[in-house]
Amino acid sequence: MTNDAIADNFSLLGKLMDIHGENSFKTKSYGIAAFTIEKLPAELSEMPQDKIFGIRGIGDAIGKKIVEQIETGKLALLDEYISNTPPGILEMLSIKGIGPKKISTIWKELGVETLGELLYACDENRLTLYKGFGEKTQQSIKESILFYMSSQGSYLYQQIENFAINVEAKLKAFFKNPQFYITGQFRRQMEVIDKLDWVTTTPKDTIVSFFTGNGYKLVDNEGNYASVVGPENATLGFYSVKPEAIYSKLFATSSSEEFLNEWNTTVGLDENKNYSSEEEIFSANNITYIPPCLREDAAVIAQAKADKLPTLIQVKDIKGIIHSHSKWSDGNNTLEEMAKAAIDKGYEYLVISDHSKTAFYAQGLSVERVLAQHEQIDELNATLAPFKIFKSIESDILNDGSLDYDSDILSKFDVVIASVHSNLKMAEEKAMIRLLNAIENSYTSILGHMTGRLLLSRNGYPVDHLKIIDACAANNVVIELNAHPRRLDIDWRWIKAALDKNVLISINPDAHSIEGYNDCRYGVLAAQKAGLTATQNLSSYSLPQFEAYVAEQKKKRG
């Protein structure tokens, strides 16, 4: 154990004790010990024990812990604190701008345990509700987390989208070669991107020389493929092919392994044939063109052969904003600002779904505030017509699956979105009891973010998707596709099962600001992978259609 290692252990111990709310005198003593040890001219491991105890600032308790580390290579007290601290809390210590005291507040009061959850809390404007966290601090923490996450190598589609587009534009401009086509995960619209790939006719050696000459590290160089990593920590890969093979390689690299195996088995791909476009690969085989976002499972090939591919939903098909928050709870904008922004963007209606009373962390609405908000909605609707604001709530699903208002209040809402926000560490049995009870509640209109997952940050609680889908079908409950790029929950892989049971999906931005409306696009990209059409999506309903839906919801309540 070097002095640096011993000092690091004491420094971390002091911070963890601070986070756990231990006596401040003790926590400071470990910080002081770390500082003292870092400045020592000689290694502690080479000193006699009596000399260690004689160092100024090193008392009996600290001295014993130094000896323990020298003899065992460990510090038992530190190991104990680490075992009692969620890994995500430990990771927060790497984030600039949040020390132990702030981390303690984030964990103990806000109930956040991972960086992804903390980033989401920043997006939802929740940190500003706590002492010591102003808007500038919240923004600084958000930027620090994003910077830290960029060092991990995997990105949300939304995070890397502009970077991918800019890289492609610069490549085409530099090499004066129009044949650079982005492919792979990005072209298939995957929600998480591990690397960005291109197909190109530029020689591989030329590409490698260019990037390594500009400070990029070569990580793969096999056959016709090379990949590099640069200061952005994003992996860039390139398939270099002859001009006549560009479209067959683009097709192959824009398809999942399962899809490509089925294609090669039932259709066959001539990689040496000079196709004039990717579309020609399909037309030459009398098969309807399959967009890359659908090239996931084998079954879609049979659909295309029968000319039965769905007409995929588009961003323009979203007619109203369902699930949004205002300053009534934890949003950044007033209700009027949210409504006028929706009008400016061409939407026909807004479903305002602020947090319910149990969501104290998000200024959830008491019964009195619900009634006051409804008064404001009536006033705004009188002036904004024909645009309409619908009265909604994102009602917390409690531990037993009940919603957190009595029926007399729930009956006043046009739409009730039921969501789990607390006690997320559940076994499947517990999660299913909560969700199924909420779905069976006659006031539940939409099941919000089904699993509570946060991509690259937090796995969702385990659920039996098929049982939930069956319950939604039996109770006429819509399933939300939460379009926040960090959620995208329900996972698109389960949407087809819902459609098979005639369960409506609703692409909802869960917007906590005007800018959040733009997240609808990421929900649409995910929904396209599942083959969702506009008619199967609630937020694609026109205003008259949505009014009819609301009327049906009220009938369902009896």
Shared domain check, 139 and 171: no
Shared domain check, 198 and 99: no
- The pLDDT of residue 150: 67
Quick check: is 251 in a domain? Answer: yes
The last residue of a domain, from among 256, 277, 305:
305
Shared domain check, 541 and 392: yes
Quick check: is 169 in a domain? Answer: yes
Strand partners, 217: 229
What is the rounded distance in angstroms from the CA atom of residue 147 to the CA atom of residue 177?
Answer: 33
What is the rounded distance in angstroms from the CA atom of residue 429 to the CA atom of residue 245?
Answer: 52
**12-21, 180-189, 264-273, 366-375, range with the lowest pLDDT:** 264-273
Mean pLDDT of 508-514: 95
Structure letter (DSSP) for residue 220? E
Quick check: is 20 in a domain? Answer: yes
Structure confidence at residue 385 as a pLDDT band (50, 70, 90): very high
- The pLDDT of residue 25: 86
Q: Which helix (H) or strand (E) holds 18?
A: helix 3-19
What is the rounded distance in angstroms from the CA atom of residue 475 to the CA atom of residue 439?
Answer: 7
The last residue of a domain, from among 92, 117, 149:
149
- The pLDDT of residue 368: 97
Shared domain check, 351 and 241: no
- Provide Rg for the chain, Cα atoms: 28
- The pLDDT of residue 40: 86
Instruction: List pLDDT tens digits, range 205-220.
Output: 999 999 999 999 999 9
- The pLDDT of residue 367: 97
The last residue of a domain, from among 124, 149, 174:
149
pLDDT at 5 over 90: no
Mean pLDDT of 312-341: 97
Structure confidence at residue 299 as a pLDDT band (50, 70, 90): very high
Peptide bond into 386 cis (omega under 30): yes
Strand partners, 221: 226
What is the rounded distance in angstroms from the CA atom of residue 158 to the CA atom of residue 181?
Answer: 19
Mean pLDDT of 263-283: 92
Shared domain check, 198 and 284: yes
Instruction: Count structural domains, the chain.
Output: 3
Instruction: List pLDDT tens digits, range 412-460.
Output: 999 999 999 988 889 999 999 999 999 999 999 999 999 999 888 788 9
- The pLDDT of residue 151: 58
Express the helix, strand and coil content of the chain in percent, nearest 5 each. 50, 15, 35
For residue 513, give its domain range: 315-556
What is the rounded distance in angstroms from the CA atom of residue 300 to the CA atom of residue 312?
Answer: 13
Quick check: is 500 in a domain? Answer: yes
Strand partners, 397: 403
Shared domain check, 121 and 264: no
Q: Which helix (H) or strand (E) holds 280?
A: helix 278-283
For tokens 């409506």, the residue is: 504
Instruction: List pLDDT tens digits, range 458-472.
Output: 889 999 999 999 999
> Who wins on pLDDT, 350 or 143?
350
Mean pLDDT of 274-290: 95
pLDDT at 193 over 80: yes
CATH number, domain at 468? 3.20.20.140
Quick check: is 393 in a domain? Answer: yes
Structure confidence at residue 277 as a pLDDT band (50, 70, 90): very high
Quick check: is 35 in a domain? Answer: yes
Shared domain check, 454 and 353: yes
Q: The pTM is what?
A: 0.81
Shared domain check, 488 and 405: yes
Instruction: List pLDDT tens digits, range 101-113.
Output: 999 999 998 889 9
- Asked if residues 110 and 102 have their Cβ atoms less than 8 Å apart, the reply is no
Distance, CA of 275 to chain centre: 38
Nearest of 127, 124, 131 to residue 92 by alpha carbon = 127
> Who wins on pLDDT, 133 or 151?
133
C-alpha torsion sign, points 230, 234, 240, 244: negative
| Mean per-residue pLDDT of the chain | 93
Shared domain check, 282 and 172: yes
Mean pLDDT of 320-324: 98
What is the rounded distance in angstroms from the CA atom of residue 121 to the CA atom of residue 506?
Answer: 23
- The pLDDT of residue 285: 93
Contacts of 369 (CB under 8 A, 6+ apart): 328
Quickly list DSSP for 197-209. EEEESS-HHHHHH
Mean pLDDT of 496-517: 97
CATH number, domain at 93? 1.10.150.110
Quick check: is 310 in a domain? Answer: no
CATH number, domain at 181? 3.30.460.10
Mean pLDDT of 173-178: 81
Shared domain check, 111 and 12: yes
| Neighbouring C-alpha atoms within 13 Å toward the C-beta of 278 | 17
Contacts of 130 (CB under 8 A, 6+ apart): 105, 109, 110
pLDDT at 525 over 90: yes
- The pLDDT of residue 173: 87
Shared domain check, 397 and 541: yes
Beta strands in 118-267 (DSSP E): 155-156, 180-183, 192-193, 195-200, 217-222, 225-229, 235-240
Mean pLDDT of 347-360: 96
Quick check: is 487 in a domain? Answer: yes
HEC string for 399-468: CCCCECCCHHHHCCCCEEEEECCCCCCCCHHHHHHHHHHHHHCCCCCEECCCCCCECCCECCCCCCHHHH
Structure letter (DSSP) for residue 519? G
pLDDT at 147 over 80: no
What is the rounded distance in angstroms from the CA atom of residue 61 to the CA atom of residue 42?
Answer: 21
What is the rounded distance in angstroms from the CA atom of residue 246 to the CA atom of residue 199?
Answer: 7
Mean pLDDT of 159-167: 92
Mean pLDDT of 153-172: 91
Shared domain check, 92 and 65: yes
Instruction: List pLDDT tens digits, range 527-546.
Output: 999 999 999 999 999 999 99
